[in-house]
Structure 1
Amino acid sequence: MTKVKIVTDSTADLSEELVRELGISVVPLSITIDGVTFLDRVDITPQEFLTKMKQSTELPKSSQPAVGHFVELYDQLGSDGSEIISIHMTGGMSGTVASAENAARISESKVTVIDSMYISRALAFQVVEAAKMAKAGHTKDEIIKRVEKIKENSTLFVTVDTLENLVKGGRIGKGKALIGSLLNIKPIASLQDGVYTPVSKVRSHAKIVKFLSEKFAEDVRNKTIKGVAIAQVDAVELATNLKDAIKKLTGYTDVDIVETTPVISTHTGPGAIGFMYYVE
């Protein structure tokens, strides 16, 4: 039977231990801050990046991996006849999927590229399940079918504490940001069809926790919870409060809190959280 190998990118927010244990290949994106370029989670940690971002006058820029980097990896992984499934962050926010698709056309290996339509641990839900199935000897088609099912049943919300990075990144206008800051507005958005989509506005952290925990309780009713994670940018307290509220409302306790990648925090700024889950 043909072996299947799994590739993803550094925005999946996976721990090094899990990557090693499941044999996942992770391609890093790069971040440029004050003219210096770093490889995500290779040359710079999320914490180091946060310190630099707070001191920087301009918004850091993230770049997708080069096509050549993917080609090299695909050729190496497929040299023993293995097939490759490469699952990446949403094409709505990065050119990473496009880079991977171009590389798949050039590579001598058999590569299937999947746009996860998500980021962070919502991307990881798909990657981890694919890697576990590959390890258990499932076929490429079986794995792809399962990944598509997880994608369909996943939800991701993002909340930001400051509108500064959204303005610098051109996602909202300065006038809106000024009004938002004066009113202490915290926007809540979802990643719908892979695109940042505003869903609500609240005025306090307590209201963020209330909105997200109630939405979660509603979505998981009479369903099996398969995975829950909170990715945070300098927002441990908010993430912990949300985890506690979820436990109180639903009794569910297995919620991972992780530091998110600089690729995401450059868009959100400090104080942001990403809340994601999938159910069946």
Structure 2
Amino acid sequence: MCQNMGQIHIVTDSTSDLTQEEITKNQIHVVPLSIQIDNATYTDGVDIQPEEFMEKMAVSKELPKSSQPAPGKFKEMYDELGKDGDQIISIHMTGGMSGTVESARQAAQMSESDVTVIDSRFIASGLGIQLLEAARLRDEGATLEQIIKRLEVVRDNTYLYVIVDTLDNLVKGGRIGKGRGFIGSLLNIKVIANLEGGAYNPVGKVRSHKQVVNHLFKQFLEDTAGKTVKMASISHAHGMKTMGTPLKEKIEATGYHDVRVQFTSPIVSTHTGPGAIGFVYFAE
């Protein structure tokens, strides 16, 4: 069968929480962020892995800093992939938490290639599901327009919650004030936030891990009532024992057995600190 159109290439950053195997199998191209910790700079997912990063962060005096890729890095990738006239769709972590998508947009304007940049409005598996869906459609022969339309549907039906176990990193990162952080840790408060509109919004505070699990499970049941769950995923920074596993067991008891579990990227865990989980699901 002769194809009268070029290929569609998928580009992303290093925050999708997809496995290396999934990235390779789906031919997804990654432009990684970098992370500075104790005066050393690492390339996310290349020369530092999530668990090793957690160990370094635990003993670091200062909060690690993540940096978006320079536009030049994206431009190199776009120029190479698009040199034969192929189309490129570049899908990234929410612009509400990082300048990565903006960097990609600048590069798309500088490149001669045909690039469409998309703000996923999510992080972690919320971005990952959009990449997998884009790859599935591309492999089925969908056009770029069809993929873009479908991603809008996926975005509108994806829910993401982040639960922070300790407020230390949020205080260090200036996301909440010291006084509030101190009181929060005294009271052992767990903050539940969603990513509505692509930014971090606290939506609830509870006092125990068990309450977190119950809150999330109740939310999951409400949001997916009468729908088919297409994906459920737990990303964590050493938060499985306290919250991730009990939540996974509750979801499996409903008959959905494909809950993905993965360690989250340093870019996410530097904001949340240790013990956090991210819970993402997509239903339609």
Shorter-chain TM-score tier = over 0.9
Count of residue pairs the alignment pairs up: 279
Deviations 1:205-260 (A, max 9, x none): 00000000111011111001111100000112121111012223x22221001000
Aligned to 2:195, the other structure's residue is in SS state strand
1:4 aligns with 2:11: no
| Inter-partner Cα distance in structure 2 for 1:20 and 1:247 | 28
1:93 aligns with 2:100: no
| Inter-partner Cα distance in structure 1 for 2:11 and 2:180 | 39
| CA shift for structure 1 position 79 | 1.2
| Corresponding residue for residue 214 of structure 1 | 218
What is the identity percentage for the equivalent residue pairs of Structure 1 and Structure 2? 57
1:242 aligns with 2:247: yes
Residues 224-263 of structure 1 mapped to structure 2, 5 A cutoff? 224-237=228-241, 238-248=243-253, 250-263=254-267
Residues 35-74 of structure 1 mapped to structure 2, 5 A cutoff? 35-74=39-78
Aligned to 1:10, the other structure's residue is in SS state coil
| Inter-partner Cα distance in structure 2 for 1:52 and 1:184 | 24
| CA shift for structure 1 position 109 | 0.4
Instruction: Look up the equivalent residue of 1:136 and give its one-letter code.
Output: E
Q: In 2, are the aligned partners of 1:4 and 1:82 still within 8 Å (CA)?
A: yes
Instruction: Look up the equivalent residue of 2:43 and give its one-letter code.
Output: L
Question: Could you list the runs of 5+ residues in structure 2 that have no partner in the other structure?
Answer: none
Q: Which has the higher mean CA deviation after the structures are superposed, 132-141 or 96-105?
A: 132-141
Question: Could you list the runs of 5+ residues in structure 1 that have no partner in the other structure?
Answer: none
| CA shift for structure 1 position 136 | 2.1
Match of 2:205 among 201, 211, 217: 201
| Inter-partner Cα distance in structure 2 for 1:215 and 1:246 | 11
1:151 aligns with 2:155: yes
| Corresponding residue for residue 76 of structure 1 | 80
Match of 1:28 among 27, 32, 44: 32
Structure 1 residue runs of 4 or more that deviate by more than 4 Å after TM superposition: none
Aligned to 1:12, the other structure's residue is in SS state coil
Aligned to 2:227, the other structure's residue is in SS state coil
| Inter-partner Cα distance in structure 1 for 2:14 and 2:150 | 22
| Inter-partner Cα distance in structure 1 for 2:135 and 2:110 | 24
Q: In 2, are the aligned partners of 1:3 and 1:137 still within 8 Å (CA)?
A: no
| Inter-partner Cα distance in structure 1 for 2:24 and 2:261 | 20
Q: Which has the higher mean CA deviation after the structures are superposed, 89-98 or 126-135?
A: 126-135
Q: In 2, are the aligned partners of 1:230 and 1:275 still within 8 Å (CA)?
A: yes
| Inter-partner Cα distance in structure 2 for 1:102 and 1:124 | 23
Instruction: Look up the equivalent residue of 2:101 and give its one-letter code.
Output: V
Deviations 1:54-94 (A, max 9, x none): 00000000000010000000000001211000000000000
| Inter-partner Cα distance in structure 1 for 2:216 and 2:119 | 25
| Inter-partner Cα distance in structure 2 for 1:81 and 1:228 | 36
1:176 aligns with 2:180: yes
Match of 1:189 among 193, 204, 219: 193
Please report the TM-score for the alignment, with normalisation by the length of structure 2.
Answer: 0.97
Instruction: Look up the equivalent residue of 2:15 and give its one-letter code.
Output: T
| CA shift for structure 1 position 2 | 2.7
Instruction: Look up the equivalent residue of 2:252 and give its one-letter code.
Output: K
Q: In 2, are the aligned partners of 1:2 and 1:139 still within 8 Å (CA)?
A: no
